[in-house]
Amino acid sequence: MIGAGLIGLGIAYELARRGADVRVIDAREPGGAASWAGAGMLAPYTESIAGPYEAFCARSLALYPAFVEELRERGGIDARLRLDGILEVAYDRGEVARLRGRVEALAARGIAARYLDREATLRLEPALGGDILGAALCEAEGCVDNRRLGRALRAACAALDVPIDAHAGDVALEADARRVLGVRGPAGFVPATHVVNAAGAWAGALAGVPASSRVPIVPVKGQMLALAMPRAFVHRTLWAPGAYLVPRDDGRLLVGATVEDAGFDVRVTARGVRALLDAALRALPALGDLAVAETWAGLRPGSPDGLPFLGETATSGYFVAAGHYRNGILLTPATAVAIADAVEGKRDASLAAFSPQRVPAGEHAAHDLGAKEAV
Ligand SMILES: Cc1cc2nc3c(=O)[nH]c(=O)nc-3n(C[C@H](O)[C@H](O)[C@H](O)COP(=O)(O)OP(=O)(O)OC[C@H]3O[C@@H](n4cnc5c(N)ncnc54)[C@H](O)[C@@H]3O)c2cc1C
Atom of ligand 1 nearest to the CA of 296: 1
Q: Which domain holds residue 270?
A: 86-142+219-302
CB-neighbour burial class of residue 231 (10 A; exposed 0-12, middle 13-18, buried 19+): exposed
The reply to whether 66 and 154 lie within a common domain is yes
Q: How far is the centre of ligand 1, averaged over its atoms, from the C-alpha of 33 (Å)?
A: 5
Q: Reduce the DSSP state of residue 272 to 3 states and report it.
A: helix
SS3 at position 299: strand
pLDDT in tens, 13-71: 999 999 999 999 999 999 999 999 999 999 999 998 889 999 999 999 999 999 999 99
Is beta strand 195-197 parallel, antiparallel or unpaired with respect to 318-322?
parallel
- Identify whether the C-beta of residue 328 lies closer than 8 Å to the C-beta of residue 300: yes
Domain-embedded: residue 283: yes
374 belongs to a structural domain: no
The per-residue pLDDT for 372 is 35
Last residue of one domain, picked from the residues 247, 268, 302: 302
Residue nearest to ligand 1 atom 53, measured at CA: 298
Residue 222 Cβ contacting ligand 1 at under 6 Å: yes
Q: Are residues 201 and 328 in the same domain?
A: yes
Looking at residue 318, which CATH number applies to its domain?
3.50.50.60
Considering the domain architecture, whether residues 163 and 130 belong to the same structural domain is answered as: no
Q: Does 307 contact ligand 1 (Cβ within 6 A)?
A: no
Domain count, the chain: 2
Q: Whose CA is nearest to atom 26 of ligand 1?
A: 200
Beta-carbon neighbour count of residue 207 at 10 Å?
A: 10
User: Which amino acid type is present at position 156?
Assistant: A
Residues 212 and 151 in one domain: yes
Sequence-separated (6 or more) residues with CB below 8 Å from residue 340? 11, 14, 15, 18, 20
Residue 373 maps to a domain:
no
pLDDT at 362: 54
CATH value at residue 130: 3.30.9.10
Report, as ranges of residue numbers, the positions in the chain whose pLDDT lies below 70: 361-375
Atom of ligand 1 nearest to the CA of 246: 8
Distance CA 116, CA 107 (A): 14
Tell me: do 69 and 154 sit in the same domain.
yes
Residues 70 and 154 placed together within one structural domain of the fold: yes
β-pair partners for 42: 142
Considering the domain architecture, whether residues 225 and 308 belong to the same structural domain is answered as no
Give the pLDDT of residue 93.
96
* pLDDT at 369 (0 to 100): 32
| Domain identity same for 281 and 315 | no
Q: Is residue 375 part of a domain?
A: no
Q: How far apart are CA 293 and CA 315, in angstroms?
A: 46
Residue 249 lies in a domain: yes
Assigned domain for 157 exists:
yes
Q: If we measure between CA atoms, which residue out of 302, 206, 291 comes closest to residue 260?
A: 302
273 lies in the same domain as 225: yes
Q: Do residue 265 and residue 331 come from a single domain?
A: no
Give a yes or no: residue 337 inside a domain: yes
Q: Cα of 183 to ligand 1 centre, how many Å?
A: 20
* 210 shares a domain with 223: no
Pocket test for ligand 1, best of 170, 265, 324, 354 (most atoms within 8 A of CB): 324
Residues 38 and 168 in one domain: yes
